[in-house]
Amino acid sequence: MEDKLSFGNKTYTSRLLLGTGKYPDNETMSEAHAASGTELVTVAIRRVDLSERSGGSLLGHLDKAGVDLLPNTAGCYSAKDAILTAQLARESLDTNIVKLEVIGDEKTLFPDNEELLVAARELVQEGFVVLPYTGDDVVLCKKLQDIGCAAVMPLGAPIGSGLGIRNPYNLRIILEQMEIPVIVDAGVGTASDAAVAMELGCDGVLMNTAVACAKKPVLMAEAMRKAVEAGRLAYKAGRINRKLYATASSPLEGVVRMDD
């Protein structure tokens, strides 16, 4: 019960964060969120009607579920646009937490590091709790931490690719350097990917496509919940060292030997 994830003044039991896009319908989305146990759900501010909160709308479903909203600046290609989008989210949703995205390349959806730093610095100064989506760049993550970001969200692989954790070694270095939470964001394809991220020591996993576009989104959401929980437990338990040769499970001392 004490092993919780915190951002700013918010604390969560679940370490699985989910998105809201690409689901077949809002009802399936709500069922998947419930099956996942998530308590924090990200919403693309530039792609949602913030004035529509009726029962059948996206925000209406999220209000009914009682989850916290994590507005994001998806679709922004400059610091200026990202800052304005975050400000709009704060006014419309009454929250100062934001998942900061500043995209630099339309094909890969990799972040623009320079613009990301500019936007992060400005938003932190304005009192936002900033969670930046970034590449698995150790130096950039350290700069974002120094600016005052509440967490860093390095990608596991390109957004929506489902390729899994492509560079676990960079993630391990980032984890060694960070004093703030590290959330793997993007690239997870199935439950084993989420478990790997957590076994490395990541504080959480954020995903959307892997659940929303699965053949059975609700079932995949349950699988992701269990994978994140299992990976966290395995990390805390501490895995055995890898060895080249076998080691007997039973001790050899005291073994009865048959004389010829």
User: Which residue from 33, 118, 20, 120 is spatially nearest to 70, judged by alpha carbons?
Assistant: 20
Would you kindly state where each structural domain of the chain is located, as residue ranges? Answer: 5-237
**Are 22 and 212 spatial neighbours (Cβ–Cβ below 8 Å)?**
yes
142 catalytic residue (yes or no) = no
CA-CA distance, 260 to 250, in Å (whole number)?
A: 24
- Using 50, 70 and 90 to split pLDDT, how confident is the model at 251? low
| pLDDT reported for residue 28 | 94
- Kindly name the residue from 4, 10, 99, 143 that is annotated as catalytic: 99
Q: Which residues contact 62 (CB under 8 A, 6 or more apart)?
A: 20, 41, 43, 69
Indicate the average pLDDT of the chain.
Answer: 91
pLDDT attached to residue 57: 82
Contact criterion met (CB below 8 Å) for 37 and 62: no
Q: Which residues contact 13 (CB under 8 A, 6 or more apart)?
A: 1, 4, 5, 37, 39
User: What does each C-alpha distance from 67 to 42, 162, 197 come to in angstroms?
Assistant: 10, 25, 23
CA Rg, the chain, in Å?
20
pLDDT at 149: 97
What is the predicted pLDDT for the residue at 56? 74
pLDDT tens digits along 154-172: 999 999 999 999 999 999 9
What letter represents residue 120's amino acid?
A: A
User: In the predicted model, is pLDDT for residue 143 greater than 80?
Assistant: yes
List of residues 6+ apart from 34 with CB closer than 8 A: 65
Task: Tell me the pLDDT tens digit for each residue of 72-114.
Answer: 999 999 999 999 999 999 998 889 999 999 999 999 999 999 9
Give the per-residue pLDDT at 196: 96
| Burial of residue 2 (number of CB atoms within 10 Å: 0-12, 13-18, 19+) | exposed
Give the strand pairing for 10-12 and 5-7.
Answer: antiparallel
Residue 231 clears pLDDT 80, i.e. is over it: yes
Per-residue pLDDT at 1 exceeds 60: no
As a whole number, mean pLDDT of residues 219-236 equals: 97
Which residue carries 């969560």 as its tokens? 12
Homologous superfamily of domain range 5-237: Aldolase class I (3.20.20.70)
Dihedral class, residue 199 (left if φ above 0, else alpha if ψ from -120 to 50, else beta): alpha
How much of the chain exceeds pLDDT 70, in percent? 95
What tens digit of pLDDT does each residue of 23-80 get? 999 999 999 999 999 999 999 988 777 777 776 788 888 878 888 999 999 999 999 9
